[in-house]
Amino acid sequence: MRILNFGSLNIDKTYSVPHIVQEGETISSVAYQEFVGGKGLNQSIAIARAGGEVWHAGLIGEEDGSILLQALEDSGVHTEFVEKRPIASGHTIIQVDQEGRNSIIVSGGANRAIDEPFIDKVLSHFSAGDLLLLQNEVSCFSTIIDKAHNKGLIIYLNPSPMDSEVLSADLNIIDCFLINEIEGQILTGEKESTKIMEAMRSMYPKASLVLTLGAEGAYFQKDDNRFFSPSVKVHAIDTTGAGDTFCGYFIASVTKGEYIKESLRKASRAASLACTIKGASNSIPMREDID
């Protein structure tokens, strides 16, 4: 089974702020840094650092994208399906407060130039039984899902950021959902984690589910089986990319055939460690750090 991650690549313009700016307020940042990020890129790097083999597919800008490509290559991600276009790369404006909490504005840039010919070209290199990982920061979201399903790929969906694009896709063909509580609430209308899991099971009975609960930990659910793994308690500096780290580590571990409980445990530890360093992909730990 090969892993294809069709995902975003962003330059994260990150401002450290005393608090997340309020409506009508102007504040000064105490620091500014640029990091390599994007939910897609972060998840590919997490898979690679966890010891998995992953092919990243996505688009970057001709003039500003080399740093994104380089980061993937440095981590051992296959990049033959990352192409340059004569437009700007995706970027984000991120505020990180003193407790490590963030707020993010995404400007899609080249991530939004993904079209059917590119999707067809990439998918022609993959076949039934391969795994597609997808988030919701690229254009043609539901087209990628439909075409991958028609080819028999196994689809792991991290529907983040959640919006109407996700809700209008055919989610019945998803094999595994990786969601947080907010996404679970939007998908099911339920608020409490147990209720979210019950609702996901009755809405999508064929799918497995990973439900992350931030600092608390994460659940895995498939049919009658449910496991929980608590987070490792850390002093959070910056939570950006922690969810992506979890997804990447979990997928790398399960596709290597490791037990679900062990995969959850590794993913939780990796995500906790990612919160102790500022930035996105640069904060993803190596597997030696987890061991």
Chain-centre distance for alpha carbon 85: 23
Instruction: Please list the alpha-helical segments (H only) found in the chain.
Output: 39-49, 66-74, 116-123, 141-150, 164-167, 181-188, 193-203, 242-255, 260-274, 287-290
Residue placing its CB nearer to ligand RIB in the complex, 40 or 204: 40
**Is residue 133 at the binding interface for ligand RIB, with CB under 6 A as the rule?**
no
**Is residue 238 at the binding interface for ligand RIB, with CB under 6 A as the rule?**
no
* Residue for token pair 């730990």: 285
Between CA 38 and CA 235 the distance in angstroms is: 23
**Is residue 188 at the binding interface for ligand RIB, with CB under 6 A as the rule?**
no
**Is residue 154 at the binding interface for ligand RIB, with CB under 6 A as the rule?**
no
Residue placing its CB nearer to ligand RIB in the complex, 240 or 253: 240
Stretch that binds ligand RIB, among 47-55, 76-84, 238-246, 249-257 (CB under 6 A): 238-246
Residue placing its CB nearer to ligand RIB in the complex, 34 or 73: 34
Question: How many Å from the N-terminal Cα to the C-terminal Cα in the chain?
Answer: 25
Residue placing its CB nearer to ligand RIB in the complex, 111 or 185: 111
**Is residue 38 at the binding interface for ligand RIB, with CB under 6 A as the rule?**
yes
**Is residue 104 at the binding interface for ligand RIB, with CB under 6 A as the rule?**
yes
Residue placing its CB nearer to ligand RIB in the complex, 135 or 229: 135
**Is residue 7 at the binding interface for ligand RIB, with CB under 6 A as the rule?**
no
Give the C-alpha distances (Å, rounded to integers) separating 285 from 76, 115, 141, 260, 275: 14, 33, 29, 20, 10
Give the residue, chosen from 12, 83, 130, 183, that forms a contact with ligand RIB under the rule CB under 6 A: 12
Is 12 within 8 Å of 92 (Cβ atoms)? yes
- For residue 11, the minimal CB distance to ligand RIB (Å) is 8
Write the CB contacts of 39 (distance below 8 Å, at least 6 apart in sequence): 7, 8, 135, 137, 158, 160, 244
Residue placing its CB nearer to ligand RIB in the complex, 14 or 130: 14
Q: What's the residue count for the chain?
A: 291
Reading the block at residue 242, the tokens are: 């922690």
Give the residue, chosen from 137, 201, 219, 252, that forms a contact with ligand RIB under the rule CB under 6 A: 137
Reading the block at residue 27, the tokens are: 């504040």
**Is residue 229 at the binding interface for ligand RIB, with CB under 6 A as the rule?**
no
- For residue 41, the minimal CB distance to ligand RIB (Å) is 7
How many CB atoms sit inside 10 A of residue 247's CB?
A: 25
Residue placing its CB nearer to ligand RIB in the complex, 110 or 153: 110
Is 63 within 8 Å of 110 (Cβ atoms)? no
Between CA 11 and CA 92 the distance in angstroms is: 6
Give the residue, chosen from 5, 6, 7, 10, that forms a contact with ligand RIB under the rule CB under 6 A: 10
Which residues sit at the interface with ligand RIB, rule CB under 6 A? Answer: 8, 10, 12, 37-39, 42, 92, 104, 106, 137, 240-241, 243-244, 280
